[in-house]
Structure 1
């Protein structure tokens, strides 16, 4: 913790303005107490971890959740507190909210609205994340979750990144633009991971940009939509990944003719080395399938061919039957992904697998669907 109550019943904030020698003297002269449980606290001011308060051993205070914090968490809270305070925002460090029994890292007030900033440096279980988020919203407080930047995100440009299930909780959305905000305490830099396009399992292509803390504003800046030139490069990398995925998929399959993907390829009279460019394309919500999109998109064409349908004659109400036929679990997100794929096929006027679609036609439709109108 970075906040304690003095004997004079005043809040004391452990910010970076206090030199270590001054804190060592203060430790001997002053007593500090927990603002929540009123128990006496220890002021820890050593050479390794940044100064912080801690409860006495065996304390049962609810605020113990904030102890055992990493140095990055303590330092990040200090840096963000100073920055937002310097922006002339009313910023409170570690306030206890008794009505919620929660203690956000920062509580900001902007245009008469409150924002709870949580700088997350450790994994948080989905139930806890949802409970804390819903608690803030119920109290009319807008939660802002900022993830501590993993080393794998410290780059710029179009990168292949891995986002685990815990970190997907922190993905935000603004005007249909989905992105992840992270902050690195060492470099005092925000990293924005945006324009996420799902590949396989936890893998995504993303545009990664960095923003120095000194240039951050409030409300937090949101990333710009990807340019056409960047999207060209992204699609080029995506096509390479498609080929990279197919080759080992062909070599390593142990199911043979029982492999649904290969059976669909065979029934559709396709070859693995010369697939139409509109098979295996990014669409909204394709992350819901976990597998690379070419698997279910080939299966979708197999379903239509088996039932003598085309993208034009395929009725959206038949989509649940595709899932049953393919033995895939039906979810709202998966259904939405198939609907979006069907809309793209219709936009391209595709009636059969042999349609001659150019790279430029595909690019223009995908850019409009995924970027210009948001996804």
Structure 2
């Protein structure tokens, strides 16, 4: 903890300007208490860790169970708190919210709206994030989760590029006007790193617009990201086509199921070579991962299913989609997959595609995806 109550029950903040001798004097002459449970807490002044307050052993306080913060987390909270002070917002560090029994890292107030800033350096489960997020929203507090910038073998450069995001990192995705973004912060460099306009490729791989922003240039609210230009989208387009072709070229080689592989069987059944599938198979329909396989796989299986059942794209009922789900239940990760499937049908109809061997205009596909990519919602 970086905050505690003094003997007069006034909130005391361990600011970074305190020198070691001042802190030693405080520890000698002052008594501090947890704002949540009112138990006595210790002022820790080590050689490695940032000075902080900690409960004594065997404490029953809920806050005590969340202690053991890393130096980087304490430093990040300090920096973010100071940043909001410089931006002249009403800001509180580690305030205890009794109605929620929660302590956000930072609470910011802007135009009578409160924001809970959570700087996450350690692993947290989706249910935990959801519970805390729901608690804030029910109290009319907007939660903002900031992920510690993930380590990478090579420093990220600004611009459009292919990146990898672990399932843990993906938990921090925020959707602004239906576009996916992740904001991260690195206390070591005092720099924010934005992964914006995320386009899923497969598994951990995404195409994203990467942008660094120094703390001194940060504003609030966050995520004021400019939409990609057509030149930048053209990079998305080329990276996506390259990743799609690489997947198809390797797909036949990596399959261990042989003719039992549903995707390969669909290609053989429809008379198509895996590496030469038309470009409308593998379209990035959603910015969320809603299917358990690469886009080309579920789209190929869908077109095969329609062909087997004697349907074309002019009339697709909910019963047809339900039949597909029963045939391939393992493909569907969540309910959003159905919406993605419906959107895919709409794209094919706009392209004039009625079956797998239909002629289509690649320029029209490019223009349609570009328009959808910039859509505001």
TM-score, normalized by the shorter chain, greater than 0.5: yes
Could you tell me whether the CA contact under 8 Å between 1:286 and 1:293 is conserved in 2? no
Instruction: Note the residue ranges of structure 2 that are not aligned, 5 or more in a row.
Output: none
Q: Equivalences for 1:78-97 in 2 at 5 Å?
A: 78-97=78-97
SS in 1 for 2:12: strand
CA distance in 2: counterparts of 1:72 and 1:302, whole angstroms:
52
* 1:360 is the counterpart of 2:372: no
Deviation, structure 1 residue 74 = 0.4
* 1:346 is the counterpart of 2:349: yes
2:204 to 202, 205, 221: 202
Could you tell me whether the CA contact under 8 Å between 2:180 and 2:287 is conserved in 1? no
Most deviating of 236-245 and 314-323 = 314-323
CA distance in 2: counterparts of 1:131 and 1:327, whole angstroms:
28
SS in 2 for 1:246: helix
Most deviating of 166-175 and 326-335 = 326-335
2:283 to 281, 284, 287: 281
Deviation, structure 1 residue 265 = 0.5
Aligned partner of 1:236 in structure 2 is 238
CA distance in 2: counterparts of 1:278 and 1:323, whole angstroms:
21
Aligned partner of 1:172 in structure 2 is 174
* 1:334 is the counterpart of 2:337: yes
Distance 1:160 1:340, change over 3 A: same
Instruction: Note the residue ranges of structure 1 that are not aligned, 5 or more in a row.
Output: none
CA distance in 2: counterparts of 1:96 and 1:325, whole angstroms:
51
Aligned partner of 2:106 in structure 1 is 106
Output one character per residue of 1:275-302: Cα deviation in whole Å (capped at 9) or x when no partner: 2111111111661112111001111111
Aligned partner of 1:135 in structure 2 is 135
1:184 to 183, 186, 195: 186
Aligned partner of 2:327 in structure 1 is 325
CA distance in 1: counterparts of 2:317 and 2:329, whole angstroms:
19
CA distance in 2: counterparts of 1:329 and 1:291, whole angstroms:
7
Could you tell me whether the CA contact under 8 Å between 1:179 and 1:195 is conserved in 2? yes
CA distance in 1: counterparts of 2:132 and 2:313, whole angstroms:
44
Deviation, structure 1 residue 129 = 1.1
Distance 1:327 1:26, change over 3 A: closer
CA distance in 1: counterparts of 2:203 and 2:184, whole angstroms:
21
SS in 1 for 2:327: helix
Aligned partner of 1:16 in structure 2 is 16
Question: In the comparison of the two structures, how many residue pairs are matched?
Answer: 374
Q: TM-score scaled by structure 2? A: 0.94
CA distance in 2: counterparts of 1:202 and 1:179, whole angstroms:
15
Deviation, structure 1 residue 317 = 4.5
Q: TM-score scaled by structure 1? A: 0.94
CA distance in 2: counterparts of 1:327 and 1:266, whole angstroms:
21
Deviation, structure 1 residue 165 = 2.8
SS in 2 for 1:323: helix
Output one character per residue of 1:306-325: Cα deviation in whole Å (capped at 9) or x when no partner: 12322224345422212223
Could you tell me whether the CA contact under 8 Å between 1:2 and 1:14 is conserved in 2? yes
Aligned partner of 1:55 in structure 2 is 55
Deviation, structure 1 residue 269 = 0.9
SS in 1 for 2:344: helix
Could you tell me whether the CA contact under 8 Å between 1:286 and 1:334 is conserved in 2? no
Could you tell me whether the CA contact under 8 Å between 1:14 and 1:52 is conserved in 2? yes
Distance 1:161 1:350, change over 3 A: same
